[in-house]
Amino acid sequence: MYRGRITYNPCFGVKQISYKKKPRKALTRVEAEAFLARENWKDEQHWLMAITARYTGMRAGEIRGLFWEDILVEKNLIHVKHNLPQNVGAEGLKAPKWNKERVYPYPKELKKLLEPRRKEGLVFEVNGDPVDYWAWHDSVKTARKKAGAGGIHALRHTINTELAEQGVPKELRKALFGWSSDQVADGYAHPENYDISKLTGIIDATVGKGTKKGRQNKR
């Protein structure tokens, strides 16, 4: 339950009310750079997790559940195959949302940040255990407050918008991000016809400037 502090759901039996969904909002380049500025993050690993979201559009649970063996360096690909939802540890590992495993390009600039940390097990961990969701959540909240905008899911829609602007087809973007709804990215058809790894150059060119700025600030 909430942050693991209560053992029951006090809302059990309460019916869900209908509501109008808020439209998903992508960040501008300036907003994304401000949110990811290194000085806004006390914990370097939390920052790297956010940087991973910026480059890949992976969901928070997918980033927490990412293993080194799922990052295929030789092929420049990330195999998104696990999800660790909010309150669960490694024992709660499951498939991604909608059971949609997928592959995503492994951008060169992200590789420079992650590969020096490579070992076995989880990419992001504390003493071998998954990074605590709520600790990361609080870091994200702090960075968003300092920047005036941000959020892990907002980064997901930001990279999708940027790839669309670069002419990446809807059907390919839908495959990359594991969407099931045509309202998000329609036209899902034959993504296997594309060499996904070749998108790394587009992603590096699109995203790279903002994260490089963050690394310079760190120095």
pLDDT of the residue at 179: 79
- 37 within 8 A of 31, measured Cβ to Cβ: no
- 85 within 8 A of 92, measured Cβ to Cβ: yes
- 77 within 8 A of 108, measured Cβ to Cβ: no
pLDDT of the residue at 24: 65
Q: Tens of pLDDT along the chain (219 residues)?
A: 556 677 777 777 777 766 566 666 899 999 999 999 999 999 999 999 999 999 999 999 999 999 999 999 999 999 999 999 887 888 899 999 888 899 999 999 999 999 999 999 999 999 999 999 999 999 999 999 999 999 999 999 999 999 999 999 988 898 899 876 544 444 333 455 567 888 999 999 999 755 655 554 544
- Degrees, nearest 5: CA angle 40-46-50: 80
pLDDT of the residue at 3: 65
Q: Where are the domains of the chain?
A: 27-218
How is residue 72 annotated by DSSP? E
pLDDT of the residue at 197: 81
pLDDT of the residue at 185: 42
The CATH architecture that domain 27-218 belongs to is Orthogonal Bundle (1.10)
- C-alpha 201/C-alpha 208 separation (Å) is 10
pLDDT of the residue at 184: 44
- C-alpha 159/C-alpha 165 separation (Å) is 10
Residue given tokens 């036209």 in the structure block: 187
